[in-house]
Structure 1
Amino acid sequence: MKIKIIDLFSGAGGLTEGFRSSMFDIVCHVEKDLSACKTLQLRDAFYYLKSIGKLDLYIKFLSGKIDEEELFKYIPENILSKTINKEINNHTIDSIFKIIDNSLSKKDKILGVVGGPPCQAYSTIGRATNKKIKSSDIRIYLYRYYIDFLEKYSPDFFVFENVKGLLSFKDIDDDYLFTPELSNQVRKKLFAHS
């Protein structure tokens, strides 16, 4: 039985590629950028066609003999709909949970969560550039939604990819985002079900 995972803040799928194997079943990707979502769908299409021995269709697409619309006619809807093109925020999180839950059978369990919330606000290189928008930069707090997914699904593992600057970053109130107290609170919440 494959290990079911969800992929958050997917981007174009760089982290996802590390989990594409016979061991894992990527239940969904959640990404707000439409171009990145198209890339994710094309990667899923590639792997689907490879699994059924029809990579010739993908090669036709790459060589311009068929377009994306024609290619996607050969891909089952459940493969294409793995990509959820939504920003994760207070208004969308419940609908994203619902989409994920509806894609699972009653016996399925999410065993892993992978992803990396945007790092521009924390990166030591980006801090100088982002300093003037710090008070309105919602990316600073997107990691909290990642925690919401961990709390909801209580996975056996998670991979949270981010930059070194996350631990030393101070928010608009000049407070560290990850204090020892917050780390302990998060740890207690995440491992309460273990």
Structure 2
Amino acid sequence: MITTIDLFAGAGGITEGFRKAGYTCVCANDFDEEAMHTFTFNHPSVPYLLKDVKEVIVSELLEKANCSAENIDVITGGPPCQGFSLAGQRLSDDPRNTLFREYIRLAKDIQPKVIFFENVYGIMNMQGGKVLEAIVREFGDIGYKCKYALVNAADYGVPQARPRFVLIGVRGFDKEISFPEPTHGKREEYHQMDFFKQELLPYVTVEDAFSNLPSVDQGEGAEEIIVEPHWDNEYQKGCVGVRRPGTIYNHRATRHSKAIQERYAMIPQGCNNSVLPEEIRTKKQNAYKLDLKLPGRTVTCNFRTDLIHPTMNRGLTVREAARLQSFDDDYCFFGNLTRKAKWLTQDDQVGNAVPPLLAYAFAEHIKAFILPQFRKTNY
């Protein structure tokens, strides 16, 4: 059994990807109640510690996990990094750095074999790159050799051009750390043969992701729809899920005014509302209509207004956004659709999540190429 602890677990995108690669999450932690409901519904066997990470101590994580520190193979997660600050060349004691320092504290005490750290791509340029240098240095201070890169989720079969920062840290490792090779690429490139590399599959497009979903118009749909499982392609086949096959959760469309619908209708696929006549534009200029023939734009926490369905004059449903994030249809998200409470909305949870297929690619790579070498090196 290969074990993980998932910090800043959110809705469970990383745990879902690692689960599909054969890992067992022995404990997850986050402080948001709705995220906990989502996580525990979809991962009912994983103990969940609902607590502010600043108050978490290692002993309670391990008690929840029912194992000792030496049995933890991987710690996963990515603390929010907005507002990082430095003192000299090191991360300062500024309160804005608190969450990362808690990650370091727990990793130092548990000493897992591997750290999988995912974050916003902007972290690479924060304060001219000095924040990233400090992060790598502080991982090094607790014994981890690191490799990091900016990756595109679309390169690993996710129907979304989502750039993300990924760092792998390995304890006591004298080998070169590698990253998984992309499995997908542009259509004009995927047919090119390379005798030393696997032939790339074409990028998974919005049409590949959406074509078999039930059609829902303004204000239509439901939180649970039962269908006879069917698919038009391999990506959709993989979205059926194993928990409750034939169940599609969270496929409910927002109702828009007639004026909004008319504006959306005038935007061509692959364009935003800056193409509209000036007299009908609104202050919001980043409403983008998805192109059926391309991977989707990055799914944000505001996808109902940031992303327009390619053929229907409305924003995306939670399920459509989850499809772009590579969640199975029977992965259910809990919470409000609007920010009327202090807890995360369904939109927040989907937008903040690590795409499971991206996590899966790295989990498979860690299992095949890093953990075996680690065992040879350390035992």
Q: TM-score, normalised by structure 2?
A: 0.32
| Bigger RCO (CA 8 Å, 6+ sep) | 1
Give 1:176 shift: 4.0
In the alignment, is the contact (CA less than 8 A) between 2:27 and 2:61 conserved in 1? Answer: yes
Q: Unaligned 5+ residue runs, structure 2?
A: 85-93, 146-170, 173-379
In the alignment, is the contact (CA less than 8 A) between 2:62 and 2:68 conserved in 1? Answer: no
Q: Which moved more, 1:98-107 or 1:15-24?
A: 98-107
Which residue in 1 is equivalent to 2:34? 35
Distance, in Å, in 1 between the alignment partners of 2:68 and 2:97 is 35
Q: Residues 107 and 183 (structure 1 numbering): CA distance in 2 closer, same or farther, change over 3 Å? A: closer
Which residue in 2 is equivalent to 1:100? 61
Q: Check if 1:109 corresponds to 2:71.
A: yes
Which residue in 1 is equivalent to 2:7? 8
Give 1:166 shift: 1.7
In the alignment, is the contact (CA less than 8 A) between 1:30 and 1:84 conserved in 2? Answer: yes
In the alignment, is the contact (CA less than 8 A) between 2:74 and 2:112 conserved in 1? Answer: yes
Q: TM-score, normalised by structure 1?
A: 0.60
Aligned alpha-carbon RMSD (Å): 3.0
Q: Unaligned 5+ residue runs, structure 1?
A: 46-78, 124-136
Give 1:158 shift: 1.4
Distance, in Å, in 1 between the alignment partners of 2:52 and 2:35 is 12
Give 1:13 shift: 0.9
* Aligned-pair identity (%): 28
Q: Which aligned pairs between 1:154-193 and structure 2 lie closer than 5 A?
A: 154-170=111-127, 176-179=130-133, 183-191=136-144
CA displacement, residues 60-83 of structure 1 (integer Å, 9 cap, x when unaligned): xxxxxxxxxxxxxxxxxxx36x11
Which residue in 2 is equivalent to 1:147? 104
Which residue in 1 is equivalent to 2:372? none
In the alignment, is the contact (CA less than 8 A) between 1:13 and 1:40 conserved in 2? Answer: yes
Structure with the largest fraction of helix: 1
Give 1:152 shift: 1.2
Distance, in Å, in 1 between the alignment partners of 2:21 and 2:49 is 22
SS of the equivalent of 1:11 reads: coil
Give 1:31 shift: 0.6
Q: Residues 85 and 107 (structure 1 numbering): CA distance in 2 closer, same or farther, change over 3 Å? A: closer
Distance, in Å, in 2 between the alignment partners of 1:8 and 1:106 is 17
